[in-house]
Amino acid sequence: ENTLVSRLAKDPGWTMRPDFPRDIELAEPTTIRVSLVDKAGQPVTPDSVTFFAYRASDKSMDFSAVMSEEGKGRYAAKVSFPLFGFWDGVIAVKQGEDEYSTGERIIVARP
């Protein structure tokens, strides 16, 4: 069972620094980034990093994108949002069977 207690017990102590642009426009490509470091400040190379975009008012518009390594501990995905308004952006990092995530509210502007 993947309970909060068991997930906290497995927490590797990584620092995830997401970079969600503030000036995202409808249907315009934008780059979402994240940097990952361990407790000692060294870059982390996990098994996978994925960006998820959730639209609370229309789940059919949810999407995800695999984030590619830009450099040691730095990952990015170029995405376009199909609707303006509020989105929840989540970056999920997988290492073995464990998954760690961070998120932020995203506002997509009208053109």
What is the spatial distance between Cα 101 and Cα 49, in angstroms, rounded to a whole number? 9
Whether pTM > 0.85 for this model: the answer is yes
DSSP string, 10-69: T----EEEEE--S-EETT--EEEEEEEE-TTS-B---SEEEEEEE-TT-GGG-EEEEPEE
The DSSP symbol for 86 reads E
Q: What is the CATH number of the domain that holds 23?
A: 2.60.40.10
Closest C-alpha to 75, from 48, 54, 42, 104 = 48
> What is the residue range of 29's domain?
4-109
Q: For the chain (length 111 residues), average pLDDT per consecutive 10?
A: 46 87 95 95 95 94 98 98 95 89 93 80
Q: Domain count of the chain? A: 1
Average pLDDT, the chain: 89
